[in-house]
Amino acid sequence: MSYPATSRGRTLLADALWYPRLRAKDVDVLHCPTFRGPFRSSTPLVVTVHDVAVLRHPEWFNRWTRTYSQIAVPRVVAAARRIIAVSEFTKAELVDLLDVDPAKVAVVPNAVEPIFTPEGPAAEGDYVLAVGTLEPRKNLERIAAAVDGELRVVGGFGWGGVKPPKNVTWLGEVSDAELASLYRGARCLVYASLYEGFGIPVAEALACGCPVVTSVGSAMADVAGDDALYVDPLDVAAIRDAIGSVTRPAPRTFPGWGEIAQLTTAVYAEALG
C-alpha cells in the first residue's frame, strides 16, 4: 500500500488520484499522519493534524498546495472517525475553520527525542539561535533585524523565495546531536513564527535548558507554558527587548515516544469503538 513520490509529477498524481481513493485491506485502523488520505473510508480512519496553516494563510503556499488543500483537507477530516491534533491550539483551529466536533479530536503532542537534554556538549560563542525551514511564516527577516550580535539559523530551504538574510550565520540542516549542542550554547532560541501547530524547536530548546522567545497567542504557549517570553512576532523592537531579558529556565521534560505511542493507541481503540 504505497505510491512513492519520486518526482513532482508522481507527487501530483498521488495527491489527485492515489490518496483520495486510498483503501486499506486487512487492517483494523488506517492512520494517516498528515492530511493526505482518503475522502471516504470503510476502515476506521484516524488522521493526525499538525496545523491548518494552509487554510488559515493560503497565501503562504504554492498554488497546487493551497488549491489541493482547499478541496482535500475538509474531506479527509470529515472521513476520519477520530482526529489527532498535536496541540490545543490546533484543535481549536479545526473547530473554528472546519466546524469539527471537539469530541472527535484528541490532543496528542509531538514527542521530543531523548538527545535533547541539558547534559552534553554546548556550542561555543555568543549567539542567538533560530530554527526552522526557510519559508514565509518563520518570520526570519524580523528575527534577524531584532538580534544584536550573531544569529545562527538552522533549517533547510523551503518555499516562498525565503533566503537567509546576509547578516546571519546559516548552518542549513544539522544532525540532532549538533542541534542539541546549539541549544545548550545559545543565549536563547527565538521562535517568533507567524503560525505553528506545535513548535517542536520550542520543546527541544526547553528540554535542553535553553531560554525561549516565541510568539504570543500561538500554539507555542501549549508547549512552553510559563517557561518562555512571549512577543508580538510583527514587532521587531519587542523581539529585541525579549532577547535582552531572557533568563535560563530549569530544563523541561516532555513526553517521549513510548508515552506518545500509548496515547495514540488509545485513539485507535476509540476509533474502533
Domains of the chain (ranges plus CATH)?
8-111+258-272 (3.40.50.2000), 127-243 (3.40.50.2000)
Tell me the sheet residues that pair with 231: 215
pLDDT less than 50: residues of the chain: none
How open is the CA angle 161-166-168, to the nearest 5 degrees? 105
Round the CA-based radius of gyration of the chain to a whole number and report it: 20
DSSP state of 211: -
Confidence at residue 25, expressed as pLDDT on a 0 to 100 scale? 86
Contact, 130 vs 191, CB < 8 A?
yes
What pLDDT is attached to residue 3? 56
pLDDT score recorded for residue 64 = 87
Position 154 scores a pLDDT of: 97
Q: What is the pLDDT of residue 252?
A: 92
- 251: alpha, beta or left? (left if phi > 0; alpha if psi -120 to 50): beta
What's the CA gap between 124 and 153, in Å, rounded? Answer: 15
Q: Would you state the pLDDT for residue 260?
A: 97
The one-letter amino acid at 87: S
Sign for the CA dihedral angle at 101, 107, 108, 112 comes to: positive
Closest-CA residue to 137 (of 197, 86, 179, 186):
197
- In single-letter form, the type of residue at position 61 comes to F
pTM of the model: 0.92
